[in-house]
Chain A
Amino acid sequence: GAGVSQTPSNKVTEKGKYVELRCDPISGHTALYWYRQSLGQGPEFLIYFQGTGAADDSGLPNDRFFAVRPEGSVSTLKIQRTERGDSAVYLCASSPTGVLSPLHFGNGTRLTVT
């Protein structure tokens, strides 16, 4: 079956611009996660959705970052007034409900802010 799909695969934007990154989870998966992976580092947690609501957004670095999942399926990560330090790979993952349910990751979006 189809896996987690993230679009675009790569995004180049200028400092100060607004960007949206999209994640299509596996059908039926209620949990959705966003992680950010800077060059040479492990992924860092940003936000977790259970259904439509953000159950844990403690990883969002500041108020320039926002994520939505209005219908409990597709999610969009929004970054305002981008900075060069936002350059990273943004990974999305989904899982069925349950603490031990394995996470299924997408291939990520590589964001470059020039």
Chain B
Amino acid sequence: DTEVTQTPKHLVMGMTNKKSLKCEQHMGHRAMYWYKQKAKKPPELMFVYSYEKLSINESVPSRFSPECPNSSLLNLHLHALQPEDSALYLCASSQDSTAGRSGNTIYFGEGSWLTVV
């Protein structure tokens, strides 16, 4: 069962709000990812967590704050966002963060649609 669950599916927030996106997987994966996708564009990597530690931050503004409370959960805390941050935010997971022998397929969730007003 390859499933990554994201909540909420839709979120509308004001520029002064604080909100969080949540992601959960029960596949025993030890790497989890946040991607941002604008309309008609490919996903762009934001953060990678490996064994619950932040391993990659692709120069994402500090108004986005990731958190990995345990190996199954990944959060993205949002604060003081701008309208241009409106996008689909995709969570993903894989066995670990190195390609290795398995090819380490990355599985994506359905995404959270964020609108900043």
Pair from one complex: no
